[in-house]
Structure 1
Amino acid sequence: MASSTFKRSARRAAVAGALAVGAVTVTAAPALADPINVPGVGTVEVPGVTQAQVDAAIASVTQGIGTGSAAALPAPVAAPAPVMSMGEKAFKAAETKLGSPYVYGAAGPDAFDCSGLVQWAYKQAGLNLPRTSYDQAAAGVPVSRDALQVGDVISFYGGSHSGIYAGNGNVIHASTAGQPVKLAPVSSMPFDGARRYA
Structure 2
Amino acid sequence: MKKIKLLVMSCILGTSLLFSTNVFAFQITDNQLVPANKKWIIDFTDIIGYDYLTKQAVVVTDSKGIKTNISLQLGNDNKSIIVYPPSSGYTTGESYTLAIGTQAHSSKGTTMRQTRSLHFSIQTIVKIQITSTNLTITDAGTTGQATYRVLDQNGNDITSSIIANNLTFQSGVGTAKGSNGVLTITSPYVNLTTLKNIQVTILNSSNGVSASGILTVE
Normalization by structure 1: what TM-score? 0.20
Q: Identify, as 1 or 2, the structure richer in strand.
A: 2
Normalization by structure 2: what TM-score? 0.19
Q: Identify, as 1 or 2, the structure richer in helix.
A: 1
In our comparison, the structure showing a higher alpha carbon Rg is 1
